[in-house]
Each structure stands twice: as structure tokens, then as C-alpha cells.
A and B are shown apart, each in its own frame.
Chain A
Amino acid sequence: GAGVSQTPSNKVTEKGKYVELRCDPISGHTALYWYRQSLGQGPEFLIYFQGTGAADDSGLPNDRFFAVRPEGSVSTLKIQRTERGDSAVYLCASSLVGLAGGPIEQFFGPGTRLTVL
């Protein structure tokens, strides 16, 4: 079946602009995650959805970042007043929910490379 897809694959914007990044998770996966990866680093957690609600948004760096998942499937990460430091690859992942809260692997999309000029 189809994996996690993300659009656009690349986004170039100017400082101060607003951007939206989209994630389509694997069908049936109730858990969805957003990560951000800077060059030469591992992914850093931003936010986790269980269904429609944000169960953990502790990784969002500030209030310019916001994410929604209104119908429990597709999610949009929104960044207001972009800054050059926001440039990174934004990765989305989805997963099933493990039994009794146990560990579960996450399936990652190819990412959106955001460049803020």
C-alpha cells in the first residue's frame, strides 16, 4: 500500500511569509508525528497527534508553529512569519498505536525541504 506522503517536496519562501506543509499518513494509522531535521542532525520531535487531537505538542519551538489534523487523517503544519532559522527538512511519520501503550515503529514520509531566504 501507499506510504506516508508529504507535499510539497521542496518549498522556498521569503522571511516573514506564511507556509503550510501537508502530510498524508498511511491509511488506518491513528498516530501522526511531525519532526524537523537540520543538516547533519537527527530529527527533532515537534508534535504528535492521536486521532484529531494533539496529544503532545511539547516540541513546537514557539507559537509561530501550529499543526492541525481536523479529520484524523491528513495533517497540516503551519509556520507563521517564517525565519531563516526555520530552514530544515520537515518530516512526517505515522504509526498504529501499540498494544497497552507499548513501543511501535513509525513510518516516515520523504519530507519537505523548507528554505527561508
Chain B
Amino acid sequence: SQQGEEDPQALSIQEGENATMNCSYKTSINNLQWYRQNSGRGLVHLILIRSNEREKHSGRLRVTLDTSKKSSSLLITASRAADTASYFCATGLMDTGRRALTFGSGTRLQVQP
């Protein structure tokens, strides 16, 4: 079963605009990660935020985490056509003996050139 839900399910923007994707999850977590997937194949890790962190930046990416609301957001600034992909949040549980990630259903981002 999916742990999280991404919102929106699909997003279409123009190159240069910012894209914001949201993720909600259900259980207490140890960390939350965002991944990108092109063409329905392998996922690429983007950023990891720990449960005791509130915000993290990496290049054009900004991630926030609100554990009280069990939600996270991913902001991509100054989007490019190459950012077109599906984006997934994935949570790692408090029980570190269980290292599996639980993924949401993803946001499909289309950046129009």
C-alpha cells in the first residue's frame, strides 16, 4: 500500500516558472526523500530530509517538512524542459530495522519549453 499521496497528480507549467509539489504521509517517519523518474524507469534520488529538519536546499530544489501535519513540499525554481518527469516522495519509518522506502503515487510534471 502507498504511504503517501502527492498533490497535484499532474502539473503543467512553462519553462522558467516554479513548480511546487506536495506530499502527505500517514505514519511517523525517520526521514523523507524525493526521487525523480523519467520514462517510467529508474528513479534518481534528489534530496533527503530528516525528521528533525524543517527545510533543505539543493541547487534549484527546496524541500520543507512539517511533521506535525505529516506533509512535505518540493519546490523546483526556474524550471527547465529537462525537469519534465514524475516526482515521488518516499518515507523511511521510525523503525530503522525496516529500511524499505514507502513511496507516494507521484506527481507528473510537464515543463513546456
Q: Which residues of A contact B (CB under 8 A)?
A: 4, 31, 33, 35, 37, 39-45, 48, 50, 55-56, 58-59, 89, 91, 93, 95, 98, 101-111
Contacts and interface: CB of A to CB of B under 8 A. Distances in A.
B88 A42 contact: yes
Contacts of B104: 42
Contacts of A56: 97-100
Nearest to B4: A42
Interface string B33-50: 101000011111100101
A99 to B, nearest CB: 11
Contacts of A103: 30-31, 33, 48, 50, 92
Nearest to A33: B100
Given A107-B45, A110-B42, A111-B42, 20 more contacts: A31-B99, A33-B99, A33-B100, A39-B40, A40-B105, A41-B106, A42-B90, A42-B103, A42-B106, A43-B88, A43-B101, A48-B98, A48-B99, A56-B97, A93-B43, A101-B97, A103-B30, A103-B33, A106-B45, A108-B44
B96 interface: yes
Interface string B79-107: 00000000010101000111111111110
B68 interface: no
Interface string B41-70: 111110010100000000000000000000
A37 to B, nearest CB: 8
Nearest 8 interchain pairs by C-beta? A42-B103, A103-B31, A101-B96, A45-B100, A105-B45, A108-B43, A110-B42, A108-B42
